[in-house]
Each structure stands twice: as structure tokens, then as C-alpha cells.
């Protein structure tokens, strides 16, 4: 199993290209199940999760052709996927595939909407909590689906097709919003989704559906109104920049006292996180092609944060921000309101010398003068990259184990950091 070695103490300087957003690419790929025509997606990141979903879609009969980056092309523009689901060969998504990536459960809505039936494995728990699918199922039932759970599988039927309905989510759920939004695009009549997730990735999927012929009002708001169509057409769509990768590298630059331009990204995708970063003493400046992050030799100011759905502080940046706060001049408090069990990185940060105390959903971080490199273990995707940030700050060598988590959500992480002066390398197994 691969590991990553970091020798800390180097300031990051230069530029880092930001990849397409994984959290948008996945539901955009799934949207191909809604049409017989070709869907072309540009700026798709080369990630383990994307490759796994491609395998799952092929299992349903989707034809996929991939164009790579061209020599001399813009560095942050990823691969181009051409997806065609002319014939759905299988409406079942088996456990051995769905269990490996939770987002694959989102095929349920599109398969049901187009084929009138679907059998999809329950995804089960995960490292950061149970994240039940009840909101997905309630939303699809509101569109007329008959749903039962048998043998660990969700069996959904709508032999006469889905019909428009009124869905009110009791709490914000990005996954459930994706699932119901995709299904509603082919439902008969109007669907109203209230308390929908407002994350930019949801808006990106909605924008693509509009290109495919769907009629959607309220994109970017918590109320979505969808006029279902009997069929959707093909389209060409570019995946928006990854705001979580943007924030991760922004925090890494601030942590090392660096000066880096994050290319191909936008401030509006994570305004709250960047405003919070500025409060810590970093400078955030818009440029012609991205965002510049700088921090001089002054210390890091401790800031309290609470994770919230968009436009609040993202839960997917909580671990990275905690790594930054381990070196702050004072005490900061982080409250995690989205997922339970999302503090598993704390004990690994402690191995590097961090002073963190947990109480329920709250972490209190007392900044220390220095961190010391040590062997650590990644526990989930976002936690693993927090260890990278801590390792960049630490004195000596940090060795991160189980880095397959990183490969799920960060494209060419070591190359991007090493190009800015970080001493980081991947140690291949064997």
C-alpha cells in the first residue's frame, strides 16, 4: 500500500492548478442515464472515485470514451468524458460496487425515472457516520415511486413513470437533492423541492440538466421547481472548479507562510471559508485566472468556526482548517454540525504534537509553537489531507499511511505541492 513522505518546513510558492470538482463530476456522470443521447463532460478530474463510477455506469450499459489533456493545453482543464446510455442493460447496482462509494447510490433516481424500475444496494455506513438514505427514498416516494427494502437492496418501481410531486426535506441533504432532482427531470408534471441543498455542485448539475432540455427554476436557491420532460437530449458541459481542493490548498499555503496562485478557481464557490482564512491573517486576492493566497511571517490568528450547509463553512474543509489552527497563537474552537464521527483525524494530529480536546461535536485546539513529524494514518478522504497540511508545517519527516483515501478526491496532490517547493513524495508499495 502506497505511503506519502513529507519533510516539513518549506514555504509553498508558485501556482497550483485547481481540478474539476469531484462532487459535481459524479452526479453529472450519473445524469447520462437520463438520455439516449451523448453527454460530453469537460474538466473531469482523474480520481479513483470517478474511475469507480465509470465502472458502475458501464455495468448499466453506458458507453464511455475519454479524451485526455492535450500537450500544451491549459493545465487545470481535466479529461473530457463522452458518455452514451443509449440502452440501459441492467437496472441493478450491486453491493460490491455501491459499498465502495456512497455517491453511486444516486443512480437510483435516474434509473427509476427512465426505466420504471431500479434495484440498488444500500450503501451502508462509512467512516464519518451512517448518513442514512431515508431522505432519498422519501423524496422518490413523493414522485410516485413504490419502494421496498429487501436483502440490503432498495427495490424501486414506477411502471407508469414518475410524476411530479412536492418534496420538503426536513434537513439539507446534498445527496438526496441530487437524487430527486435527477429523477424529477423525467417525471410527468411539476416537482417542487423545498429546503434543497444550495451547494454549487447541485447548481452545476441543474445547469447541465437545463442544457439537456429540463426546465428548472430557482437554481442556487433552497427552492427548486422542475418541469419534467418525456425525454432529455445530449449536451456539452464543463465541470465547475473544485471548491474543496481550492480551500485545501489555500489553507496549506497559509499554514506554510507561502505565496501561491490557485489557478482556474473562483472565490464565490467558497466565500465563507476564504473570509475565515483572511481572519487568520492570510491575504486572499482575486487574480485574472484564479485566487492568490499569501501569508507573511506573522503568526496565525485563532478563529472559531462551525460547519454549515452552503453558503456556510464546509464540513469538507473542517479537518484542513483544524490542521491550520494547530499552529495558531491561541485557542480556537471548531463545531461539526453536519456529520458525526468526523473528528477521527484528531488523534493522528495529536501524534504530530497538536493539542486538541474533544467534547461531543466540538473540538478545542490550543495552538502549539511547533509540530514534529511522525508516522500517521489516514482515516477518510478529508482527514487524510489534513495530515498533509500538518506534515508541511511539522519539523522533520511525516509518513502518511493508507493514502488511497487521498486518491479518491485529490488529483496529482504530490505533484501540485512539490511544484511549489514542498518536499513530498509518494512511496509505492513493494
Which residues does 18 contact at the CB level (< 8 Å), separation at least 6? 76, 241, 242, 245, 246, 249, 262, 263, 264, 265, 290
- What's the number of CA atoms in the CB half-sphere (13 Å) around residue 223? 3
Instruction: Please tell me the distance from the alpha carbon of residue 27 to that of residue 201, in angstroms, as a whole number.
Output: 9
Query: What is the sign, positive or negative, of the torsion defined by CA atoms of 179, 182, 183, 188?
Result: positive
Q: Which residues are catalytic?
A: 126
157 is in an annotated binding site: no
242 marked as part of a ligand binding site: no
- Decide: helix, strand or coil at residue 97: helix
From the list 130, 163, 133, 167, the residue with the least C-alpha distance to 146 is 163
What pairing do the DSSP bridges indicate for beta strands 13-17 and 259-263? parallel
**Cα(187)–Cα(107) distance, rounded to whole angstroms?**
15
Give me the half-sphere count of Cα atoms (radius 13 Å) on the Cβ side of residue 401: 5
Residue 22 among known ligand-binding residues: yes
134 annotated as ligand-binding: yes
Residue 179 marked as a ligand binder: no
| 286 known member of a binding site | no
2 is in an annotated binding site: no
Strand, helix or coil at 192? Answer: strand
Q: How many CB atoms lie within 10 A of CB 195?
A: 18
338 marked as part of a ligand binding site: yes
Residue 23 assigned as binding residue: yes
Which grid coordinates are listed for 188? 410527468
Q: Is 45 within any annotated ligand binding site?
A: no
Alpha-carbon span 79 to 75, nearest angstrom: 11
* 131 in a known ligand binding site: yes
Task: Identify the sign of the CA torsion 267, 259, 324, 245.
Answer: positive
Would you give the DSSP letter of residue 317?
Answer: G
314 is in an annotated binding site: no
Instruction: Look at strands 235-238 and 259-263 and give their pairing.
Output: unpaired
Alpha carbon separation from 324 to 297, 308, 350 (Å, rounded): 15, 19, 13
Residue stretches of the annotated binding site for phosphoenolpyruvate = 22-23
Residue stretches of the annotated binding site = 22-23, 102, 131-135, 171-174, 316, 338
Residue stretches of the annotated binding site for UDP-N-acetyl-alpha-D-glucosamine = 102, 131-135, 171-174, 316, 338
Amino acid at each position: 500500500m502506497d505511503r506519502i513522505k513529507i519533510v516539513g518546513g518549506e514555504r509553498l510558492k508558485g501556482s497550483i492548478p485547481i481540478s474539476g470538482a469531484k462532487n459535481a463530476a459524479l452526479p453529472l456522470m450519473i445524469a447520462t442515464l437520463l438520455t439516449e443521447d451523448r453527454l460530453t463532460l469537460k474538466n473531469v478530474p482523474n480520481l479513483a472515485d470517478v474511475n469507480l463510477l465509470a465502472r458502475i455506469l458501464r455495468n448499466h450499459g453506458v458507453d464511455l470514451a475519454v479524451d485526455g489533456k492535450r500537450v500544451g493545453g491549459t493545465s487545470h482543464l481535466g479529461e473530457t468524458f463522452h458518455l452514451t446510455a443509449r440502452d440501459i442493460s441492467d437496472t441493478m447496482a450491486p453491493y460490491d460496487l455501491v459499498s465502495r462509494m456512497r455517491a453511486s447510490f444516486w443512480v437510483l433516481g435516474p434509473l427509476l425515472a427512465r426505466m420504471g424500475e431500479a434495484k440498488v444496494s444500500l450503501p451502508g455506513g462509512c467512516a464519518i457516520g451512517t448518513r442514512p438514505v431515508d431522505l432519498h427514498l422519501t423524496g422518490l416516494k413523493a414522485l410516485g415511486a413504490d419502494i421496498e427494502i429487501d436483502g440490503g437492496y432498495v427495490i424501486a418501481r414506477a411502471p407508469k413513470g414518475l410524476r411530479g410531486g412536492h418534496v420538503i426535506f426536513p434537513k439539507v441533504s446534498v445527496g438526496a437533492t441530487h437524487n430527486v432532482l435527477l429523477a424529477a427531470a423525467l417525471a410527468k408534471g411539476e416537482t417542487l423541492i423545498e429546503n434543497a441543498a444550495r451547494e454549487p455542485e447541485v447548481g452545476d448539475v441543474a445547469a447541465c440538466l437545463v442544457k439537456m432540455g429540463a426546465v428548472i427554476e430557482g437554481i442556487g436557491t433552497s427552492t427548486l421547481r422542475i418541469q419534467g420532460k418525456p425525454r432529455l437530449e445530449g449536451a456539452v458541459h464543463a465541470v465547475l472548479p473544485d471548491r474543496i481542493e481550492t480551500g485545501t490548498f489555500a489553507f496549506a499555503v497559509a499554514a506554510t507562510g507561502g505565496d501561491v496562485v490557485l489557478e482556474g478557481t473562483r472565490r464565490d464557490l467558497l466565500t465563507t471559508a476564504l473570509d475565515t482564512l483572511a481572519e487568520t491573517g492570510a491575504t486572499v486576492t482575486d487574480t485574472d485566472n484564479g485566487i492568490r493566497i499569501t501569508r507573511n511571517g506573522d503568526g496565525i490568528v485563532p478563529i472559531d468556526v462551525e460547519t454549515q450547509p452552503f453558503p456556510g463553512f464546509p464540513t469538507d474543509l473542517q479537518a484542513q482548517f483544524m490542521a491550520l489552527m494547530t499552529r495558531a497563537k491561541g485557542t480556537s474552537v471548531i463545531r461539526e454540525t453536519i456529520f458525526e464521527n468526523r473528528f477521527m483525524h484528531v488523534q493522528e494530529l495529536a501524534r504530530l504534537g497538536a493539542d486538541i480536546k474533544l467534547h461531543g461535536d466540538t473540538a478545542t485546539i490550543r495552538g502549539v509553537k511547533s509540530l514534529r513529524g511522525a508516522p500517521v494514518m489516514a482515516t477518510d478522504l478529508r482527514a487524510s489531507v489534513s495530515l498533509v497540511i500538518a506534515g508541511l508545517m511539522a519539523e522533520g519527516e511525516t509518513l502518511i499511511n493508507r493514502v488511497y483515501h487521498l486518491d479518491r478526491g485529490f488529483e496529482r496532490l504530490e505533484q501540485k505541492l512539490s511544484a511549489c517547493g514542498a518536499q513530498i513524495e509518494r512511496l509505492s508499495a513493494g
